[in-house]
Structure 1
């Protein structure tokens, strides 16, 4: 995203990422939809699938694209670690799941971590970097809404069908947006094309298959534990490949987010 976004822009980046991912997942969509349609009608699930596609792909990918143009990949990936916190918040709102006192405290600690993490950017006042940080927080919020909405309204739909069908719906939405773009495509470098292709095929298409298979086999709570690894890889790869600078507050903020997530998701429980 950091390589491709400056050349493509946030909207074109999101459009291409979604369309490439949808093409990657199209054989899976055909197989799962054919099998599912023999057992049940898919019509009652079309509106929820479209909603999840918009909330889990279209809007977050645009927000992450905007963030990639303004802040480091490492910083963005650490903020992405608050996704399980939003998952807990909206499980309370949408699914009426009761949160313990330690879970509520974990929410406070996690979001305080975002402030600590972003403190070296906030000292310059409200600017594009601050809006980029808010964009990532908003994207993670949308992930939390979509995950819980999917759990409530897409019960009985195989996870792999959810992954492929939501991406297909997102691609249909974004195709006219891409076609109406005024970008000079001939000016886009080969590095940017390679980056967006890898992002669409591997980091979105194949990653969705792996993640939804993980949900199917281990359950959503354990599957979301992979979120803890994203900041580590984001910071390391950002430093190694993009020469991104590391700040001490990023370490403390990241640890606070991790602690908050562990409290909220019940990995750390108070002794009785």
Structure 2
């Protein structure tokens, strides 16, 4: 594999486009929820994307897709992926899409905390702890943003926000599992295959068991499935994997902070959601905290360069 390049205009534009697609994910799920439940949407999109991804799956030489060494971690990743979207679906039913997308993207904080306890190389430094403290303060503020809601609505939104936060933790656990098991050495398309297969099977079962399998084939329901299957779960992820193979991951990661911002903007424009002042302040703190944790090396270099020479 060749040396990874610094970001150029092409990569930057692709990352902005990907973040827009990812920011639209929860908004489109909620827009189509009256015609097809979010759980059913994600189950079907996983199945369709699975068919598209399968021909592209690469397996390490000497192993098979369902080798024993991958069976347990593959099952765990599939289960956590499914749990994440069950929680996202419940969150969207109870709270706003803007709250859901912001709290979902707290996942990097929980990844950092989880790896801190497991891998010596991932020990958090003082700068990262500042970022984590900032992000958790932001989470508290996002939970306080229901000043004008009725008591019943406020209670439902709090529960929905809690589900969104749990979805972020589930996403983090998926990432930690990928990092700490044999799946850390396999091609990205293989891990994506396990997640899509699990999402299709588990979520389809949950949709039928919970009475959420009814589909009204309206234009918005079909549009949602096309968006999630072709753009979200297939095209955007394939472009993301291509970017990771060719460009510096640290520079690509900076753009991921645009996703919740796009999510908030689209929720206001497309769903007419109102954004509370406390929520805006909390979101800024969460994003700042996540950026500090993710960019700690760059921040440390800037601080060391700015320090006076004695």
State how far apart, in whole Å, the 2-side matches of 1:84 and 1:254 are: 14
After superposition, where does 1:232-271 map in structure 2 within 5 Å? 232-265=261-294, 266=296, 267-269=298-300, 271=303
Please tell me whether the aligned partners of residues 36 and 213 of structure 2 are also in contact (alpha carbons under 8 angstroms).
no
Alignment partner of 1:12 out of 34, 37, 40: 40
Moved more, 147-156 or 177-186: 177-186
Q: CA deviation at 1:230?
A: 0.9
Alignment partner of 2:186 out of 157, 162, 166: 157
In structure 2, the residue matched to 1:113 is 138
In structure 1, the residue matched to 2:129 is 104
Question: Is the partner of 1:8 in helix, strand or coil?
Answer: coil
**Runs of 5+ unmatched residues, structure 1:** none
State how far apart, in whole Å, the 2-side matches of 1:47 and 1:222 are: 33
Question: Is the partner of 2:42 in helix, strand or coil?
Answer: helix
State how far apart, in whole Å, the 2-side matches of 1:59 and 1:88 are: 20
Please tell me whether the aligned partners of residues 49 and 165 of structure 1 are also in contact (alpha carbons under 8 angstroms).
yes
Q: CA deviation at 1:78?
A: 2.0
Please tell me whether the aligned partners of residues 90 and 160 of structure 2 are also in contact (alpha carbons under 8 angstroms).
yes
In structure 2, the residue matched to 1:62 is 86
Alignment partner of 2:117 out of 93, 97, 113: 93
In structure 2, the residue matched to 1:74 is 98
Query: Deviation string for 1:74-129 (max 9, x for gaps)?
Result: 22222233121111111113334211122122111101101212312377476221
- CA change 1:162–1:250 in 2 (3 A) is same
In structure 2, the residue matched to 1:49 is 74
Please tell me whether the aligned partners of residues 56 and 189 of structure 2 are also in contact (alpha carbons under 8 angstroms).
yes
Q: How many residues matched? A: 266
Which structure has the bigger radius of gyration?
2
TM-score norm. by structure 1 comes to 0.85
Question: Is the partner of 1:255 in helix, strand or coil?
Answer: helix
Q: CA deviation at 1:223?
A: 4.4
Alignment partner of 1:40 out of 48, 63, 67: 63
In structure 1, the residue matched to 2:25 is none
- CA change 1:139–1:215 in 2 (3 A) is farther
**Runs of 5+ unmatched residues, structure 2:** 1-28, 305-310
Question: Is the partner of 1:185 in helix, strand or coil?
Answer: coil
Please tell me whether the aligned partners of residues 106 and 263 of structure 1 are also in contact (alpha carbons under 8 angstroms).
yes
